[in-house]
Chain A
Amino acid sequence: MSTQPLMIDASNLDKFYGKFQALKNINFSVAQGERVVICGPSGSGKSTLIRCFNGLENHNAGKLVVDGIEVYEGSPEIRKLRQEVGMVFQQFNLFPHLTVLENLTIGPIRVRKKSKQEAEENARTYLERVHIPEQADKYPSQLSGGQQQRVAIARSLCMETRIMLFDEPTSALDPEMINEVLEVMVDLAESGGMTMVCVTHEMGFARKVADKMVFMDEGEIIETAPPERFFTAPETERCQEFLQQILVH
């Protein structure tokens, strides 16, 4: 992996909400094609960090380069960057007034300026890939949570981005729907080529696909390790405690 160029390169990132410091001196990098899972207790800054990567949040200090573009508040290149960085949200954030197919094609048509026909063909391919080709003409509210999240993943795929960010993609789902979404994500990860950064508590998924595990607590990166070592022999006490708590159940 070390020979691959860096897709995300963050150095000394700080982020404040008023006086509260959400990110403390974050140094973090992801190589092209690398799959990174970030975990940690709630309020540890995982989501804030991942949202910085496509400029939904802006860091206050430090330097962040994503896909060769420097990210900072008010950067004129932020839209160009977002076209290369897909994001899947905890709450799906599908567009409720558009059908599934329109949700998938609006980006390619309006942002990438593809023809409607090309965009729709592409969208149907990706709907197959997330196993819901038959739902193309429904509205998001007519789908289950798991299906909605798969549509959201397909929406990001349709933009054919080089990086995919997942912000707790299964946290808002009913337990019986978590697996169908994870399966799609594993399939994506194993097909290779895609750089993935995933905030999740699904440790089974992490073990299966992650090249690198990152543990955060109170705005800091406490531990970075390959999954074998991370799960069997975590170095720090906080990480050990956290793993015990979530793996016991």
Chain B
Amino acid sequence: MSQTAAKYVPPKTPVLSRFFSSIPVSVLIYLVVVGAIILSAYNGAQAMGYNWQWYQVPKYFYTMTDDGFQWGEIAIGLVKTVEISTLAFLLAVVLGLVVALLRLSGLLVGGALAVVFLEIVRNTPLLVLLYLFYYVLGPIFDLDRYVASILCLGVYHGAMVSEIFRAGINAVPVGQWEGAKSIGMSNSQVYRFIILPQSIRFMLPPLTGEAVNMIKSSAIVSVIAVAELTTIGRNIISDTYMSFEIWFTIAAVYLVVTLILSIGISFVERRYAVS
């Protein structure tokens, strides 16, 4: 019990680090960086003699004519993107659950099937997978471009989702299995009533990330000319040559959709955040 031991001095954060992590300074730095990017892009465009036509953009969202209100091409493309992503995500969740359960089943054949599926899908580029679905499986099973896109995205993200499910299921302590089995529950009852409800909170954050990825990777189906957001953007540009305005707009639309999704899910997460 020496005197020196009694004096406890809390470690100080270095002054510089405190200065840079304070909120006003952070915001300032952020604005400077973003401003610099925008300014340099603008200057570059000016140097090219680019003719900005932002006033043209709103009509691609909606138009008011004598015939009344009409949705524009970008709005229609956005609906298609959301539709494809939603359907593909549902497929991914179902597929992911099946693959995860197969992998965890302890059945030799089931586990092997799941691993083969995972490895093939994860080690194939999404673009190649899409060509496979559209140009190979398409003619064989008579799939149109729309169905082929949904299947391809569903399968690709299904592999990712299955790993999320597997991790979430494994994160539930083994004692929960034992408790549930000791009252005579069957495997499927244990999953349904005990394990899955508890793993949701482990799964929601990465699933949100996967949903955002899904919306972004849905842009790739523009290469087989499915009329979604990115395809629409390309079409407009080939008509008008407004590449800067349209690509900025399209990027912003994707950003808005994924942000809405993330924020929405964070509310759901709070609901499941029971300890």
Contact = CB atoms under 8 A, between A and B. Distances in A.
Contacts of A234: none
Interface stretch (B74-82, B85-93, B97-105, B185-193): B185-193
Nearest to A106: B193
B178 interface: yes
Interface in B221-259: none
Contact of A56 (B181, B194, B198, B274): B181
Q: Select the residue from B178, B182, B185, B189 with max chain A CB neighbours within 10 A.
A: B182
Interface in A83-115: 83, 85-87, 89, 91-97, 106-107, 110-112
A107 B175 contact: no
A79 B186 contact: yes
Contacts of B193: 106, 110
A82 interface: yes
B197 interface: yes
B62 to A, nearest CB: 45
Interface in B42-64: none
A32 interface: no
B: contact size bracket: 10 to 19
Interface string B208-221: 00000000000000
A110 B189 contact: yes
A96 B193 CA distance: 12
B270 to A, nearest CB: 15
Given A97-B274, A139-B274, A79 B184 contact: yes
Contact of A107 (B178, B183, B197): B183
Contacts of B198: 95-97
A188 B185 CA distance: 24
A159 interface: yes
A82 B275 contact: no
Contacts of B274: 96-97, 139, 141
Interface in B152-206: 175-176, 178-186, 189, 193-194, 197-198
B176 A159 contact: no
Interface string B257-275: 0000000000000000011
Contact of A94 (B179, B181, B189, B197): B179
Nearest to A81: B184
A149 interface: no
Given A97-B274, A141-B275, A82 B184 contact: yes
Q: Select the residue from B176, B183, B189, B194 with max chain A CB neighbours within 10 A.
A: B183
Contacts of B183: 82-83, 86, 106-107, 111, 155-156, 159
Contact of B179 (A80, A93, A112): A93
A83 B193 CA distance: 17
Interface in A141-167: 141, 152, 155-156, 159
B194 A95 contact: yes
Nearest to B180: A95
Given A56-B181, A111-B183, A159-B183, A93 B175 contact: yes
Contact of A89 (B178, B185, B189, B275): B178
Contacts of A195: none
A54 interface: yes
A91 B182 contact: no
A58 B263 CA distance: 48
A89 B197 contact: no
Contact of B185 (A107, A152, A156): A107
Contacts of B275: 96, 141
A94 B198 CA distance: 12
Contact of A91 (B175, B180, B197): B175
20 contacts: A56-B181, A80-B184, A89-B175, A89-B179, A89-B182, A92-B179, A93-B178, A93-B179, A93-B182, A94-B179, A96-B198, A97-B198, A106-B193, A107-B183, A111-B184, A111-B189, A141-B274, A141-B275, A155-B183, A156-B182
Interface of A: 54, 56, 79-80, 82-83, 85-87, 89, 91-97, 106-107, 110-112, 139, 141, 152, 155-156, 159
Interface of B: 175-176, 178-186, 189, 193-194, 197-198, 274-275
Given A97-B197, A156-B183, A159-B183, 4 more contacts: A93-B175, A96-B198, A110-B185, A139-B274
